[in-house]
Structure 1
Amino acid sequence: MVVSFDCFGTLLEVQPPTDPASAVATALADRGVSVPPDWSVAYGESHTTVPSGVEISLTEHVVHALESRGIDPDRDQCARAVTTAFAPDVRIRPGARTALAAAAHRGQIGVCSNCSVTGLVHRALARSAVDRSFDAVVTSVGCGWRKPHPRAFEAVAEQLEASGDTLVHVGDDPDADGGVEAVGGTFIEVGDGSLETVPERLRELDR
């Protein structure tokens, strides 16, 4: 058995910016990048055709949004702005450490998270002091696929040197995290306070 966990809403609680477009605009302006007057509209528009299940980075979206208004931005500055706008203020969810320890007792453990901000999951895990090293950390922006697409789960299973049908995935969103069942894996749904039930549910799978 190998176990992967969703990150945000499952292992960690993160306070995102209340107005992402405004947060990104401020960070862009601080770096000398021109921000169009209708930025909130540009930010909310779709500027590329993305196949179902495919993830593109928020940095790419920001670049395309600026280009749609005739601005040719510096991509590195855009990437830094996005990183600043989404600097994570995190806390560990109750029961997370116990659930991780129970999973690690059975084999390799990983994280499989939908996130379009490059590096955000790694930074959030580091800042959380979750006190656990992971055998794999797979994000949608890193592998190019968003859960529930099977390729997202195949990516984490591959990094854990396992097949999809041996993967147990723990998450709070049945629509996204439940997609593990499409590769033959097992979904453990956790909501508020139910991370504490993970050790017993893993024991049940052992039987």
Structure 2
Amino acid sequence: MAVTFDLFGTLVDVEYPTDPGTSVADALCEYGVDVPSDWDDAYREVHIDAPEGAEVPLPAHVAAALRSRGAESPDNAARRAVITAFDPDVTTRPGAVEAVEAAREAGPVGLLSNCSVPELVARTLIRSDLDRRGFDSITTSVACGWRKPHRQAFEAAARGLDVNVSDLVHVGDDPDTDGGIEAVGGQFVSLETTALDALATRLRAGEVPCP
């Protein structure tokens, strides 16, 4: 059995900007970008035509939003601004460390996170109580190109652990996204019904977790 965990809202809580567009605009100004006067509109518009379920990296969206208004982002300013705007304040959720440790005793362990911001997952782990070395594989939507619940997100996580996707037990807080594992034959453990400390107990008892 292989276990994958969602990150945000499952293992950690992160304080996001209350107004992401404004936070990104402020960061762009710091990097010398002339932000368009109608930036709020530009930020909310769709600029990249991606397939359903595909991840659009936020820096690519920001760069496209600037271009739509005749502005540029030299020296990779869009990426740097996004990373600055989403600098995380992290709280590790109760039972998270124990759940990951128990999963490691049962088999390979992975992280599977929807995240359009480069480096955010790595920085979040560094600032949490979780040991990054406790994960055999870390899969993010910004890296693999697909967001949960798309099957390719789960398949990418399975490849990272060298297992069949149907062998995955995925733990998460959102049935609409994390629950997509069931469509590819895996098992979903919802935090709505199974707390992390209870999950750790079941894993250590050799029980396959039940939703």
**Superposition TM-score, scaled by structure 1 size:** 0.95
Show CA shifts across 1:61-97 (max 9, x none): 0000000001122261111110000001101000101
The equivalent of 1:21 in structure 2 is: 21
CA displacement 1:94-125 (0-9 Å, x = unmatched): 01011111101011111000000011111101
Report how far residue 56 of structure 1 moved: 1.1
Q: Which residue of 1 aligns with 2:207?
A: 204
Could you tell which deviates more after superposition, 73-82 or 159-168? 73-82
Question: 1:130 maps to what in 2?
Answer: 130
CA gap of 1:32–1:44, structure 2 versus 1, over 3 A, is same
- Structure 1: tracts of 5 or more residues without a match: none
2:6 matched to 1:3?
no
Aligned residue type for 1:177:
D
Separation in 1 of the partners of 2:152 and 2:192?
24
Q: CA deviation at 1:201?
A: 4.2
Partner of 1:195: 196
Partner of 2:116: 116
Runs of 4 or more consecutive aligned structure 1 residues displaced over 3 Å after TM superposition: 200-203
Is there any run of 5+ residues in structure 2 with no aligned partner, and where?
Answer: none
Two-structure CA RMSD over aligned residues (Å): 1.7
Q: Secondary structure at the match of 1:178?
A: helix
Within-5 A mapping of 1:22-171 = 22-74=22-74, 76-133=76-133, 134-171=135-172
Aligned residues: 207
**CA 1:193–1:89 in 2, change beyond 3 Å: closer, same or farther?**
farther
- Deviation digits for residues 150-204 of structure 1 (CA, Å, limit 9, x no counterpart): 0000001100010011111000000100111122111000149821221244443
CA distance in 2, matches of 1:200, 1:41: 49
TM-score (norm 2): 0.94
- Contact 1:94–1:193 at 8 Å: present in 2 too? no
- In 2, the alpha carbon distance for the partners of 1:125 and 1:55 equals 21
Alpha-carbon spacing, 1:14–1:193, altered in 2? closer, same or farther (3 Å): farther
Kindly, what percent of the aligned residue pairs are identical? 53
User: Cα–Cα, structure 1 residues 75 and 174, in superposed 2: closer, same or farther, change >3 Å?
Assistant: farther
Evaluate the alpha carbon distance shift between residue 85 and residue 163 of structure 1 in structure 2; reply closer, same or farther with a 3 A threshold. same
Contact 1:95 1:193 in 2 (8 A): no
CA distance in 2, matches of 1:55, 1:201: 34
Distance between the aligned counterparts of 1:178 and 1:186, measured in 2?
8
Give the Cα separation in 1 of the matches to 2:129 and 2:106.
22
Give the distance between the partners of 1:142 and 1:11, measured in 2 at CA. Answer: 20
Residues of 2 paired with 1:192 and 1:79: CA distance? 38
- Cα 1:184–1:75 shift into 2, 3 Å: farther
